[in-house]
Amino acid sequence: MEPIIPILILCLPLLGFLVLGLLGPKMSHKAAGWYGVLSIGTVMVLAYITAITYFFSGAPEFILDGTRLQYVVFNQDWLNFYKDLTIRIGFLLDPISALMLVVITTISFCVHLYSLGYMEGEKGFQRYYAFLQLFSFSMLGLVVATNIFQMYIFWELVGASSYLLIGFYYQRPSAVSASKKAFIVTRFADLGFLIGILILSYYTGTFNFTDLTGSVLANGSSVNNLITPGVVASLKFGGASFMGCSLLTWALVLIFMGGMGKSAMLPLHIWLPDAMEGPTPVSALIHAATMVVAGVYLVARLFPLYLMEEAALLFITVVGAITAFYAAVVACTQVDIKRVLAFSTISQIAFMMVSLGVARPEIHEGLGYMASMFHLFTHAMFKALLFLGAGALIHAVHSNDYTAMGGLRKYMPITHITFLIGCLAIAGIPPFSGFFSKDEILSACYENNFIWGAWMSMVAGLTAFYMFRLYYLIFWWDEPDYGHHKPHDAPWPMSLPLIFLALVSCVAGFIPFGEFVTWNGEPYHIHINWVGVAIPSIVIAVLAIALATFMYRKKNPLPDKVAKATGALWTAAHHRFYWDEIYMFITHKIIFNLICKPIAWFDRHIIDGTMDGLAWCAQRLSITIRPLQSGNVQSYVYVYLFGALLLGGVTAAVVLL
């Protein structure tokens, strides 16, 4: 494959960023917006070409004996450390990166287009598009990374562009603090990622994904049987261990910590709800569809390595399962519609994590892996749809809270229908896409362990409940006073992406995903286990929707009663189980007051004080010995004589004794 298209895929958004960033202030809003849309549109086309070439051309470098291969399009040295340990900037094509190329460019294009309407007339319109371009560049760079350090580089860059976009309304203090929080929390997680990389790269001597995971893949599908002992030894770092776990486990868990930060897993999830301070299209792009799944993508990327340490996979599963449940519960109680969607995102990403965590080669040939990627794909579409729909609502009523909405189905039919499709998809109702992917995940869970399956089914039910709670509260319930300006559907640049994504959400489930994306490149034929998994989960979803309908379709006191009845639990969930307060306590009270301030005090008073104290001592000493110079000549002679005698006496004593 010629590298020109991949290079363009990376360079066009970067160029867009530079052009819009440097020349933006001189451009009109319209020119800047259309430039951005065209740029990303071109990238989208190129990405499609690349993906199609990869999946369908059947060229021997992409597929061999039915097994899809990893193919490095180009790999440029960027920074050499020692020996072969080199950071390279390259372009890796394999099933998941091709998949991500499609997802990112599609959503990004939709958001670019949508923003033409949504951000119309905003101050800093050009800047907004510049940041979008920067984000697209970073995200694309991340998914095509050929080595873990390239991934880390773009990982940081997406963090920064996320920071910039969350803080887009920089004059709003809440946006500023939200952006700061997002950056710092993910930075903290990245610390783990970095240390993990250090450990991994030191012992393996490489950053390259193909070297790290290739050996596992090359030795066949069943890791435990077929890998030669030598490979295991090199990957297990010769049995080095630390605090009871092997270093490989440590490395993998630490790397996963980076993923926990970006993908907002408990307890590093707190930034994502706040990140909704950014413009809504940004939330759709970054905080629903693309960046937040980077953590999932990271685990998937290193999946063969994780397979070597089941402890790490178990850890992922547990974190994912807890997060999924937690986020779903919180989502049931939120007022801000974007926050509901944010928590729903957290919950859905946790689904993907769990799915990866339970995946084993021996269980349906690594079904969990495929399911996770499938869900990533479908979720990106319907969650972007939901967010963009929410954006249209917010655009129409100028508020984020459902209390300001209600009965909107009459005023905004397109939004209503598309939003409903999104809700159905996420609730897992066939034939919408969410059903298929979620079903695969649940199958994988049940296959691994019944507990995971049951647990995740419950979460799926909760998902259906809170999504329809939201749906009813927005579109049904009671109509508030909208005044003279009745809400209406958004202009075509905003509606078009909605409709497009809704269509995708309707049909995406029928894609034979397993043919394209599996953990080892060999095709997997999806078959739905209707009796064991699908039917029960549909039933659960329908029941949950029914409950939501009962509670929220029309204005009634039931929700309040339920809230009262559950009391403390409801309050706690409403306050997101006080995670923010805990963090506030730790950062402000403990780190700021008990570490930073004492250190600053120590520096000013002890360290600085010692230096000043030395000067003070000299001054004091100087004053103390002042009487020596009394002015009286006889006292001078006393000192003289005493000095001479002492000099002689002490020397005599020392020399002769």
Partner 1 sequence: MFSNPLIYFVVIPVIMLLGIYLSRNMAQIRTVAVAGSLALLGLSAWLLVDYLGLRAAGADAPMLYRGDWTWFSAMNIKLSVGVDGISIAMLLLSSIILLTGSFASWKINPLPKEFFLWLILLSIGVFGFFISIDLFTMFMFYEVALIPMYLLIGIWGTGRKEYSAMKLTLMLMGGSAFLMLSLIGIYYNAGLHSWNLLEIAQADSIDHTWQMFLFPMAFVGFGVLGAMFPFHTWSPDGHACAPTAVSMLHAGVLMKLGGYGCFRVAIYLMPYAANELAWIFLILTGISVVYGAFSACVQTDLKYINAYSSVSHCGLVLFAILMLNTTAMTGAIMQMLSHGLMTALFFALIGMIYGRTHTRDIRQMGGLMKIMPYLAVCYMIAGFASLGLPGLSGFVAEMTIFVGSFENTHTLNRVFTIIACCSIVITAVYILRVVGKLLLGPVYDKHHEELTDATWWERTSTVTLIICVAAIGCFPNFFANLIRTTFSPEIFKVLGM
Partner 2 sequence: MDYSQFLVMKQEIGLLVVFLLVFLYDTFMSKRALNSLQGVSIIFFGLLTVCGFCCACPTATETAFAGMYVTSPVIACIKNILNVGVLIVLVQSINWNNSEAQVVRRGEFLELVLVTLFGMYLMISARHFLLFIIGLEAASLPLAALVAFEKNKYESHEAAIKYILTAVFSSAIFMMGLSYVYMLCGSLYFGEIAAQVATQQVSVLLIVALAFVVAGVGFKLSLVPFHLWTADVYQGAPTSVTSYLSVISKGSAAFAFLVILTQVFGAVYSQVWEWMLYALIILTITVGNLFALRQTNMKRFLAFSSISQAGYIMLGIVGNNAMGMASLMFYILVYIFSNLAAFGVIQSIENATGKLDMTDYRGLYKSNPKLSFVMMLAMFSLAGIPPFAGFFSKFFIFAGALSGPTSIALYVLVLIALINTIISLYYYLLVVKAMFLSNDEPVIPTFKSACSERIGMWVTVAGIVCLGIVSCFYNEILTICQQYGLLGGLA
Partner 3 sequence: MEIKLLYYLVPSLIMFCCGLYGFLTRKNMIAMLISLELMLNAVDINFTVINRYIFPDSKEGMIFTLFAIAIAAAETALAIAIIINLYRVTKKVETDEASQLKG
Binding site for partner 3 (CB under 8 A): 626, 629-634, 637-638, 641
What is the rounded CA–CA span in Å between residue 512 and residue 530?
A: 17
Query: Would you give the binding string for partner 2 spanning residues 559-598, x where CB under 8 A is met?
Result: ----------------------------------------
Which of 58, 565, 622, 627 touches partner 2 (CB under 8 A)?
Answer: 622
Residue with tokens 């773009």: 154
Which of 425, 574, 621, 627 touches partner 2 (CB under 8 A)?
Answer: 621
- Restricting to residues 142-161, name those near partner 1 by CB under 8 A: 149, 153-154, 156-157, 160
How many amino acids of this chain bind partner 1 (CB under 8 A)?
A: 49
DSSP at 218: H
Which of 15, 23, 195, 318 touches partner 1 (CB under 8 A)?
Answer: 195
What is the rounded CA–CA span in Å between residue 31 and residue 24?
A: 9
Task: Give alpha helix (H) positions in 525-607.
Answer: 535-552, 558-566, 568-574, 579-584, 597-601
Tokens standing for residue 118? 């949504």
What contacts 246, CB < 8 A, 6 or more positions away?
A: 236, 237, 239, 240, 309
Which of 28, 59, 170, 218 touches partner 1 (CB under 8 A)?
Answer: 170
Looking at the DSSP assignment, which residues form a beta bridge with residue 401? 336
Nearer to partner 2, 239 or 649 (CB): 649
616 binds partner 2 (CB under 8 A): no
Which of 38, 49, 59, 79 touches partner 1 (CB under 8 A)?
Answer: 79
- Beta-carbon count within 10 A of 263 CB: 31
177 binds partner 1 (CB under 8 A): yes
190 binds partner 1 (CB under 8 A): yes
Task: Answer yes or no: are the C-beta atoms of 417 and 493 closer than 8 Å.
Answer: no
569 binds partner 1 (CB under 8 A): no
- 497 preceded by a cis bond (ω within 30 of 0): no
608 binds partner 2 (CB under 8 A): no
621 binds, among partner 1, partner 2, partner 3, none (CB under 5 to 8 A by kind): partner 2
647 binds partner 2 (CB under 8 A): yes
Of 118, 248, 271, nearest in space to 188 by CA: 271
647 binds, among partner 2, partner 1, partner 3, none (CB under 5 to 8 A by kind): partner 2
What angle in degrees, to the nearest 10, is found between the helix axes of 173-204 and 148-166?
Answer: 180
Phi, psi of 144, rounded to the nearest 5 degrees: -95, 10
- Interface segment toward partner 1; rule CB under 8 A; list 186-194, 209-217, 426-434, 624-632: 186-194
431 binds partner 2 (CB under 8 A): no
618 binds partner 1 (CB under 8 A): no
Tokens standing for residue 459? 């979460």
Q: How far is the CB of 204 from partner 2 (least distance, A)?
A: 49
What contacts 206, CB < 8 A, 6 or more positions away?
A: 84, 85, 147, 212
What is the rounded CA–CA span in Å between residue 647 and residue 235?
A: 73
190 binds, among partner 2, partner 1, partner 3, none (CB under 5 to 8 A by kind): partner 1
Plot region of 94 (φ>0 → left; ψ -120 to 50 → alpha; else → beta): beta
What is the rounded CA–CA span in Å between residue 290 and residue 451?
A: 30
644 binds partner 2 (CB under 8 A): yes
What angle in degrees, to the nearest 10, is found between the helix axes of 95-118 and 492-507?
Answer: 150
631 binds partner 2 (CB under 8 A): yes
Nearer to partner 2, 565 or 628 (CB): 628
What is the secondary structure of 199-211 as a DSSP string? HHHHHHS--BHHH
615 binds partner 2 (CB under 8 A): yes
Residue ranges binding partner 1 (CB under 8 A): 77-82, 85, 87, 149, 153-154, 156-157, 160, 163, 167, 170-173, 176-177, 179-180, 183-184, 187-188, 190-191, 194-195, 198-199, 201-202, 592, 595-597, 599-600, 603, 607-608, 610-612, 615
Summarize as ranges the residues that interact with partner 2 (CB under 8 A): 615, 618-619, 621-623, 625-626, 628-629, 631, 633, 635-637, 639-645, 647-649, 651-652, 654-656
